[in-house]
Amino acid sequence: MQDDPQSVPAELAEALTRFRGNLALCDAELSLTYGELASVVAACQPHLAGQRAVGVFGAPGALFGALATACVIDGRPFVHLDPAMPPSVLSNILDELQISLILTAEAPKTGQLPDACRVIEGATLLGGPAVERITPGQVAPQDAIYLVATSGTTGRPKCIPVTQDSAFLSYRWRDAYTPYGEGMRVGIYIFAIWEMFRPLRNGAEMWFPRLDDLLSPQALARFIAAHDLTEMLFTPSFFGKFLQGIDAATGAALPLERVILNGEVVSDRLVAEARAKLPQAVLWNLYSICETHDICMSELTGEEPAGQGVRVGRAMPHLRAIVLDDHDRLCPPGIPGLLHFEGPRMLGPGYVNRPEETARRFRDLVIEGQALRLYDTGDRGFVDAAGEIVVLGRDAHMLKLRGYSIQTRELTETLAGLLRFSHAIPWVQPVGDHDQALVFYFTADVAEDRANRDRWGIEAGQQRIPAPLASALREVLPAYCIPTYLVRLDAIPIHQVSGKCDYKALPAIVAEPVANAGDAVPALAHAARLLRCPVADLDPARSFHDHGGDSLMCVDLILSLEGAYGRNVDFDWALNLPLSRLHELLSAEATTVASVFDRSGIFLTGVTGFLGRHVLAAALERLPADQVVYCLVRPRNNDPVRRLAVIAEAVGAAPERVVLVPGAIDDPRFGLDGDHYADLSAQVSTVIHCAATVNLAVDRAQMQAWSRAGIAHVLDFCRAAAADLRFSSSTAVFPETGGPFAEAPAQLFDACTGYGAAKIEAEAQIAVSGVPAAIVRLPSLYDLDAANPKDVYEIILSACRAAGAMPEGLAFPMIDVRAAARFLTRITSGEGAAYYNLTADQPVTGDMPGYDRLTAGDWLKRVDLPEGLSKLLTGDPQTLRVDARYDNAAAKAAWRQAGLGPFSALSDGTALLSRRLNYQGEPALT
């Protein structure tokens, strides 16, 4: 092991070995330990050889993080290819950087990536063999560690290389301010994905929220709480939206200990609100620019002295702040000017293939007789006598809007292709009390005025950008680069001293009074309010995004819609659905979801699953006629009301006895507000927990994490309701051979699947909870009349039938789902946890005539199986010959006590095989 690695690739490579058993990258679909991440890096390295730069395509998450980490460790700079970018912008980035290799963390749409590039699906690089040590790439200090493609204000994004040396020095410097340690849990702000490399060097866990979770304040709060996250970085604009959407009690209960704010000026009001709602969190202001990496960092205490500008701290070592006046003369301490920074090891090389822009921003000047290379930040400010940097605001060539960087010169050039003008100034102006908008001020002569009026209907003065012009710009620009307002001026105001534009003299935007929405539906009314336009100007067939709304504005829209419709709102729906369709979906669910839980009954999870629907039917048979079944269904699923209604109709349930509870087990209180949660708790006497996730592509650690979060919330509810619990566990908690396995606590074993490990995790939490519980371990379940298409053995039997062949010695445990459902609804719970192995005395076996008998290996070669199952069976063929034995005495006793008849009715293997396979013996088909 190196004593002191001297590059970021070397630090990361050492971390993979040092922390190999610890979690590294986690999201809702995947988690990777440091050791598993090392396997991904090893699988990537042969593909990366010889590449100058690599594109990583997809929304940030655990797989994206793994692919980006592989590039960094191998010394290959990567650039993030955001699926939300227009295909033309993606193509321009790839051309600009001469990229020929793309690693994908999600499937691209048809035509989204150029055919000329080699594309490797990242998921195929998972699950490789363990590796002892990763050899990092050899890098020079001025090599790029990654590339940032900013703005896109011409459709040709500016690509900024960040050097290995600047990253290494910055990471070491920041460790003193924000240290990371083994096992620390860090939330990743997915718009600043390169931040993950800092904590990854020191053994921390990176947790990636889904976009839906990130852009809903309440969902993000639940995500932070569920995963016990202690740090997260935000832009100030985004952090403000988050604080706006949570109350003080929610904020104070969050585990956050540190919040880093970066990308914009932090207002005193934001600091005050953060201190009120997150009193336990230390706030840090990070002043950084891609071209110089980090600059300085300071703690925000709310006690900064009043005065001009924002105090951001002292420049880090290897950087020096230099303030110049309009004639490039050095400003004394305390005198404002244009902020520059000097430092050969921190400044980047400039912009890829843009020598003129590089020369404008990276300036070679002689200052007090010394030749220096400076970076022009675009910020005005000063350095006080103590060396503290004070930022006064932006200069003209780059703007910041809700955390996005906008290059004004390039935006002007792009607009010149569509709009006629003589001179122009893009600027960000406040609109109303809290909002900001991008404004395009311009002058035009008579001929240009006529052309703009004829083509776009533009008149003198202020107006919102016409919809046809916005639509044309949306073909080549990100939404945040499209001006909200156009202001036609007679002349650009000039500062009398500097001779430059006097930005303070640009006319303020007068927000149009929002007309009374009248009878407009809430989706249209709230969209119009946020877009500051009359409802009549909106096209119901177009989305909020189509009308110019961006992701941060959509957070406001979601909060308003949730209040109006009384339900959780999916981010993708709010941003991208036509407004009329959005209203239709929200209304359909809002008018059907019960808002009052006022009848006694039981609480059921997993009702949309194979077992759950049969439990619903069995429960309604047993419950008194005045009692109901409360069914938990995720609200983000399409039409959960209709899905539940279809299930209820299929099992013959009276609709009034099936009550939807919109929520999810992985959310605290299932996502319900306090009043509804309390009302539900008061009505429920029994909880039957059937919800489960089976995903063969997800590793064991992630399955355990999901199970840990879900069962904790179920047990919390049982305590609140004073209810007993019936938990559908699995025989997967035991090996597939050996036994007899006792009706007692199970232990994790080496070959345990992720599904089995998740059940063991849940059983262990139930056992120590004090909640009266029946833990019912079930094998695979069958319904003679309707096969479960997701069950492993149903898939195996279907493959046997299609191939006309069976593996030798096929044997597996499987019972009737109706019998399992009756057992779950009729058993009683005593004190503590009781274990039941609800298994038949013999596994399902058979020798069907007309089928070839093949070894497991030959059978796997002949049949067509899903990739995940094929991989599982190849690695563990014992799954085809399960000969495990189970102690089921307690289950038999409970079966008798429940009056369920002969125990042999639990499973009929002969009938099952005959129903699934017997068509092979029919003469017409042989």
* Residue pair 120/102 in contact by the 8 Å Cβ criterion: yes
For residues 237 and 862, which has the higher predicted lDDT (pLDDT)? 862
Q: Rounded to whole angstroms, how far apart are CA atoms 847 and 649?
A: 38
Long-range contacts of 746-755 (CB under 8 A, 24+ apart): 751/876, 752/700, 753/700, 753/872, 754/695, 754/698, 754/699, 754/700, 754/701, 754/702, 754/703, 754/704, 755/692, 755/694, 755/703, 755/730
Q: Which residues of 23-58 are buried (b: 16+ CB within 10 A; e: fewer)?
A: bbbbbbebbbbbbbbbbbbbbbbebbeebebbbbbb
**CATH number of the structural domain 398-505:** 3.30.300.30
Record the tokens describing residue 605, joined without a space: 């999870």
* Domain layout of the chain by residue ranges: 8-166+190-203, 304-394, 398-505, 522-587, 601-784+814-841+883-907
pLDDT at 919: 45
Q: CA 547, CA 534: separation in Å to the nearest integer?
A: 12
Residue 600: other Cβ atoms inside 10 A: 14
Rounded Cα distance between 430 and 634, Å, is: 39
Q: What's the CATH code, domain 522-587?
A: 1.10.1200.10
Give residue 817's pLDDT band: very low, low, confident or very high (50, 70, 90).
Answer: very high
**Number of Cβ atoms within 10 Å of the Cβ of 252:** 14
Whether pLDDT at 520 is above 70? yes
Question: Residue 699 has what pLDDT?
Answer: 53
Computed over every residue of the chain, the mean pLDDT equals 86
Q: Which two tokens stand for residue 388?
A: 């503290």
**pLDDT tens digits for 465-486?**
888 898 888 777 877 788 989 9
Q: What is the mean pLDDT of residues 232-237?
A: 86
Average pLDDT over residues 264-277: 84
The continuous run of DSSP H or E covering 605 comes out as: strand 601-605
Lowest mean pLDDT, pick from 117-126, 321-330, 526-535, 829-838: 526-535
What's the confidence (pLDDT) of residue 286? 92
CA 868 from centroid of its chain's CA atoms:
23
Task: Please compute the mean of the pLDDT values over residues 80-94 and round it to a whole number.
Answer: 87
Task: Provide CB contacts within 8 A for 712, sequence distance 6+.
Answer: 765
Class of domain 304-394: mainly beta
Q: Residues 740-754: what's their mean pLDDT?
A: 89
Say whether 585 sits in a helix, a strand or coil: helix
- Rounded CA-CA distance 81/105 in Å is 10
At residue 893, the pLDDT reads 95
For the chain, counts of helices (H) and of strands (E): 30, 39
CA distance 613 to 610: 6
Choices 3.40.50.10710, 3.40.50.720, 3.40.50.300, 3.90.105.10: CATH for 601-784+814-841+883-907? 3.40.50.720
User: Is pLDDT above 80 for 135?
Assistant: yes
AA letter at 876: D
d(CA 607, CA 618): 12
- Interatomic CA distance for residues 470 and 484, integer angstroms: 9
Assess whether pLDDT exceeds 70 at residue 811. yes
Q: Which residues contact 673 (CB under 8 A, 6 or more apart)?
A: none
Average pLDDT score over residue span 494-499: 57
393 pLDDT tier (thresholds 50, 70, 90): low
More confident residue, 699 or 661: 661
The CB-side HSE value for 308 (13 A sphere, CA atoms) comes to 13
Q: Is the sign of the CA dihedral 86, 92, 97, 99 positive or negative?
A: positive
Pairwise CA distance, residues 216 & 570, whole Å? 8
pTM, two decimals, is 0.58
Give the closest residue to 440 by CA, choosing from 421, 455, 454, 456: 421
- Of the ranges 41-45, 419-423, 531-535, 703-707, the best mean pLDDT one: 41-45
- Residue 689, SS3? strand
User: What is the rounded distance in angstroms from the CA atom of residue 88 to the CA atom of residue 85?
Assistant: 8
* 282 contact partners, CB below 8 Å, separation of at least 6: 257, 258, 259, 299
Cα dist from 662 to 555, 631, 633, 659, 669, whole Å: 21, 8, 5, 10, 11
Fold match between domain 8-166+190-203 and domain 398-505: no
Give residue-wise pLDDT tens across range 21-48. Answer: 999 999 988 999 999 999 999 999 999 9
Average pLDDT, stretch 514-531? 77
Helix axes 551-565, 522-531, angle to 10 degrees: 150
Q: What percent of the chain has pLDDT over 70?
A: 91
d(CA 730, CA 621): 25
Of the pLDDT bands very low, low, confident and very high (cuts 50, 70, 90), residue 593 is: very low
| 8-166+190-203 classified as CATH 3.90.1150.10 | no
Distance between CA 713 and CA 706 in Å, rounded?
Answer: 11
Percent of the chain with pLDDT over 90: 48
| 588 — pLDDT class (breaks 50, 70, 90) | low
Strands (E), 235-314: 258-262, 282-289, 293-300, 310-313
